[in-house]
Every structure is written in structure tokens, then in C-alpha cells.
Amino acid sequence: MPLDRNAPPLPPVVLRAVPGADHVLTPEALGFVAALQARFGLRLHALMVARARRQERIDRGELPDYLPQTREIRQGIWQAAPVPPALEDRRVEITGPVDRKMMINALNSGARVFMADFEDATAPSFANVIAGQANLIDYRDGTLDHDDPATGKSYRVGPNPALLVVRPRGLHLPEANVLIGGQPVSAALFDFGLSLYHCGRALAATGRGPFYYLPKLEAHGEARFWNEVFAFAQDRMGLAQGTIKATVLIETLPAAFEMDEIVWELRDHIAGLNCGRWDYIFSYIKTLRNHAAYVLPDRAQVGMEDAFLAAYAARVVKVCHRRGIHAMGGMSAAIPVRGEAEANEAAFARVRADKQREVGMGFDGCWVAHPDLVPVAQAVFDAAMPGPNQIRKPRQQWRIEPAMLLKPHQGRITEAGVRLNIQVAVEYLAQWLSGRGAVPIQNMMEDAATAEISRAQLWQWIRHGAPVALEGGGERRLTADWLGELMQAEIVRILDRLGPNGFHRGHYASAARIVQEAATAETLPDFITLPAYDLLNALD
């Protein structure tokens, strides 16, 4: 069977009525999504099968490495198409969910770019997804505003907003509320297709889009897939080829070995690579899950200055600048600590140090999660980067060997670290099931990547019988039974804090069950958000 269908696409069936759907899910917009799904759905399925087969090989003992068949691409002298003027200076980017008020605050934050996130920062209930698309349409029309009846505050987009970049959901995710031929449409094609259909021409006319971030790519074949989606979509929309520009998040371990190849496949449409470091840590654990030599210590000890993360960051800068595109630094997730001046300054100091490390390595920009951190990050980049970027700045380079991209951090696994992973995973997932994708936890703005790291570490430590340093001294190996005891203690703590009504309304029992099952499964589940998505849909 061919991987592309030439028959007319079947009309989508929408299973749920939510506010704004009439405005967003017009027959023409749904027809465009259906055309994308008909053309690329089977190919996308084949790519997901290829992911699973690669993981099976790694589980059997193979380790990730540079591909011998693409050596000429890595060694060749070539560059991607020029970055458009609107994307030349990206020194500070702010990210956030597609919630209306948060979008307005981000657009007014003073950042150069705002990434409107349908992925990890948004709990993908159908109501949230459609509201996000409606917000993009209002942004297009200059009518994105919000009046908060609870506070009496009004929110309006200012005269010089940040440049809008949209991140659709990952290739592995379905949109279960829209069926074509009885099957869920790809969430990635759904998010991309609706946003491009409604906003693409208007953004192109201003020279400020359409621009995208592409999450969780694992191989250059997936980059080729997106390139062909862009080419097809531009033809259908009457946009010149190369109008769409995308920045690819390097947030999976396999992708770190195929950066040149990813840029090559997207060379007419790529604007940069980004260090999606939190998901990258999760992917490191997931990819190397059967390899006892790559067990990581407490998350707090897994820093960007050392081991596989330092090598990965250096390779992003090296590849990007050689190919003439932006190297974007990772997320600083700290948020202001209200009413605690000393703690607040400590948080700001950590962000400042993180950005100094990034600009010193050669990155052209960075991410923050809160508007108050924009001036902190911008001051660092302004002081060290007088031009719009560092793409052409001479810099000493060195060869990054495969072993450097695999080297684990040294450190300890502690009882406090185990408890923290349980607490963060349960708290985040409960908030996610309540419809919130960006959640402040312990003075950090967390998204789905945090829950993924936390539950993956618990699984890894149980799987390999990792010794845990106890708070009272001595060691104990983490087991499923001990995890159950610690999980019960966390549930009791939440019950004491919220009471029975708050506990049940907040979906904490479901969150704890999903985390417990994921951490004790025989095989590490690919994404905790997949089983959680079914429950989210049932609750919506």
C-alpha cells in the first residue's frame, strides 16, 4: 500500500461541541486538516513504527551513534536558507500556554518572541485546544483582549508585541475528538493545519510568519516529513515556498546524533535548533532505559554544565552556526517568589547565571517562563551580544564524540530526591487533569516534561535497583513496594493539606494511580500524557 493517498479526503467528524468551535472548525478549515491527514497520515504511522523499532534495538544493547550513511551531510559545506528579518534577533523568547490572559501577558512582556504552546504547556482538553486556536485568530485580527470579572482587570495587546511562534503537539499524539475514517486525526497536523489555515496568509503578508516550533523529533526522517507537510500546505494556501519557518527542538537523545541531517531535510524552512533540555533529560532516561550504566542521580544534580548535557548544548551551537541558523538556549523555569526578597533574588541569580553560560557558549537567544524574567535574561544577552545574534562570530570548535553525548552525570540518589519526584509528578499531573498545563510548583513554572522526568527516574531507579541514601543515614534500594509506601505518604500529605473534597476535585487519586503505574510498569511507558489524555477527555 502506498504511504500517500490520492483519493479525496474523507470529511472529519467532530465528536464534541465546545465554545468557539463554530469560529475555528469551519468546513474549509476542517477540509484543509483532512487533506493533510489524507496525504500524510499513513506516512506518520510508519515513522512511529520506525521509532519503536529503533528503541527495540537500543533496548537489546545497541547505543545511539552518528549515522554512517549520512556522513557526507555532516561533513559537507552547505547552509540552510537565510533566516527572515523578523527572526534575526531572538535574544529572549517567552513560552506559555494558549490561555487568553497568559498569551496577552507574554505578548506584552518585552520578549522578542512568544511561543504559543499547544504542547507541553497546555493540557489538551478539546476546550483548551479550540480556545487556543480562537485566540490565534483574534491575534490575527487585532482583537485579542480579556476582561477578568473576578479582578476587574482588562488585558490588551500593546503596540509592539512579541513575534508569535506556534508550537503544535508532537507527532506521537492523537486528537481524539476529531475522527477521519473512524480514526483520530494527528494532533500535530490538527494544530498546525488550523493555525496555518486561519492565520498563515495574514502573517505572511506582514513578514511576521507563519513561524513554528517543532517538538520531540527523533530522526531526520521526521524532519523530512515536516518539510513535505510545509511544502504541501504552502501550495494549498497559495504561499511561496519557504514562507513557513520552523525551529526544531532538540529534546530527544536520538535527535542529538542527527542534528545536521535534521537541518538538511528542513533547509528551506528551518530557522534554528533549540535545547529543549527538560524533555531531553527525560528522553535520555527513556532511550537508555535498559542500560544500567546510564542511571542518573537526583534531578537537581543533572545540570547543563556537565556530562551529556554540556556536550549536547555545545553540539547545538556548533551545528547551527555552521549551517547559518540560530542556536537557542533552554528554558529557565524559575518564577518570581512573591513576598520573599531573598528567595526571589536567589531565583533571579540562578536565571542570570544560566543565561551567562548560554551566551558565553555562543547561543543566540534563550527561553524564560515568566514576564518578570525577560529583563533579567535580556540584560545578560545585551551585555554580551551587541549584534542581533552570534551566528557569524568566530568560535573554537571541537569534535563531539558519541560517548560524550551519552556520558551520565555523577552524583547520589537520595530519599529526598525520590520524594520530590513523587510530589512533583503527582502535583503536576493532577493540575494537568484539571486543565492546566503550565503549573507553578516550588517556585518553578513546570510543564509536562517535569512529570515525565520525575516518573521516568522513579522507573529507572526501581528497574536497576539503585541504592538510595536515606535521610536518617544508610542506604536502601528503591523497590515498587517502597515506592507504594512513599506514594501513600504523599497522598496523606495532600489530603491533610486540601481535605477530602479538594483532594477528589483536584483529581489527585487519578494522578497518583497513573504515576504509580508508570513508575512500576515492566517496560517504561513512552509518555505519561498518553494514558492521562484518555482520562482528560473523559473529564472534559
The upper half-sphere exposure of residue 476, i.e. CA atoms within 13 Å in the direction of its Cβ, equals 13
In a domain, 18, yes or no: yes
Contacts of 494 (CB under 8 A, 6+ apart): 426, 503, 508
> Which DSSP string corresponds to 121-186?
TS---HHHHHHHHHHHHHHHHT--EEE-TTT--EEE--SSPPEEEEEPPPTT-EEEEEEETTEEEE
In a domain, 231, yes or no: yes
Q: pLDDT averaged over the chain?
A: 95
Of 384, 403, 422, the domain-final residue: 403
Q: Residue 349 is part of a domain; what is its CATH number?
A: 3.20.20.360
Contacts of 42 (CB under 8 A, 6+ apart): 1, 2, 3, 4, 5
Contact 221, 239 (CB under 8 A): no
Given the residues 100, 167, 299, 463, the one annotated as active site: 167
**For residue 511, which of 492, 532, 526 has the smallest C-alpha distance?**
532
At residue 7, the pLDDT reads 59
In a domain, 7, yes or no: no
The secondary structure of 228-283, three-state, reads HHHHHHHHHHCCCCCCCEEEEEECCHHHHCCHHHHHHHCCCCEEEEEECHHHHHHH
Same domain flag for 378 and 298: yes
By three-state DSSP, how is residue 428 classified?
Answer: helix
Same domain flag for 319 and 275: yes
Q: What are the tens digits of pLDDT across the range 419-475?
A: 999 999 999 999 999 999 989 888 888 889 999 999 999 999 999 999 999 999 999
Strands of 24-91 (E only): list them.
Answer: none
Same domain flag for 392 and 429: no
Any idea what the Cα angle at residue 132 is, between residues 540 and 223, rounded to 5°?
Answer: 105
What is the Cα–Cα distance from 421 to 402, expressed in whole angstroms?
A: 29
Contact 285, 366 (CB under 8 A): no
Q: Which amino acid is at 389?
A: N
Of 403, 432, 462, the domain-final residue: 403
Of 340, 374, 403, the domain-final residue: 403
Same domain flag for 291 and 315: yes
Q: What are the tens digits of pLDDT across the range 67-86?
A: 999 999 999 999 999 999 99
Same domain flag for 247 and 339: yes
Residue 3 has pLDDT above 70, yes or no: no
Buried-state track 317-345, b at ≥16 Cβ within 10 A, e below 16: bbbbbbbbbbbbbbbbbbbbbeeeeeebe
Contact 210, 243 (CB under 8 A): yes
Contacts of 113 (CB under 8 A, 6+ apart): 87, 90, 92, 93, 94, 162, 163, 164, 165, 365
In a domain, 182, yes or no: yes
Same domain flag for 33 and 158: yes
Active-site annotation holds for 447: yes
**For a pLDDT cut of 70, what percent of the chain falls above it?**
98
Q: What are the tens digits of pLDDT across the range 82-113?
A: 999 999 999 999 999 999 999 999 999 999 99
Q: What are the tens digits of pLDDT across the range 391-415?
A: 998 877 778 999 999 999 999 999 9
Distances 532 to 125, 143, 165, 206, 426 between C-alpha atoms, Å: 11, 34, 27, 39, 12
Same domain flag for 422 and 302: no
What is the Cα–Cα distance from 484 to 503, expressed in whole angstroms?
A: 18
Contacts of 59 (CB under 8 A, 6+ apart): 289, 290
By three-state DSSP, how is residue 513 classified?
Answer: helix
Same domain flag for 332 and 418: no
In a domain, 59, yes or no: yes
In a domain, 41, yes or no: yes
At residue 10, the pLDDT reads 82
Same domain flag for 123 and 232: yes
Residue 125 has pLDDT above 90, yes or no: yes
In a domain, 104, yes or no: yes
Given the residues 117, 315, 447, 455, the one annotated as active site: 447
Q: What are the tens digits of pLDDT across the range 15-65?
A: 999 999 999 999 999 999 999 999 999 999 999 999 999 999 999 999 999
CA dihedral defined by 158, 445, 294, 400, rounded to 10 degrees? 20
Same domain flag for 378 and 419: no
Tally of structural domains, the chain? 2
Residue 5 has pLDDT above 70, yes or no: no
In a domain, 327, yes or no: yes
Same domain flag for 336 and 439: no
What is the Cα–Cα distance from 119 to 330, expressed in whole angstroms?
A: 16
- Residue 155 pairs with which residues in a beta bridge? 146
Same domain flag for 465 and 352: no
pLDDT band at residue 6 using 50, 70 and 90 as cut-offs: low
* Residue 422: domain span: 413-539
At residue 11, the pLDDT reads 87
First to last CA, the chain: 37
Q: Residue 533 is part of a domain; what is its CATH number?
A: 1.20.1220.12
At residue 1, the pLDDT reads 37
Q: State the pairing for strand pair 174-180/183-186.
A: antiparallel
Contact 164, 209 (CB under 8 A): yes
What is the Cα–Cα distance from 451 to 422, expressed in whole angstroms?
A: 9
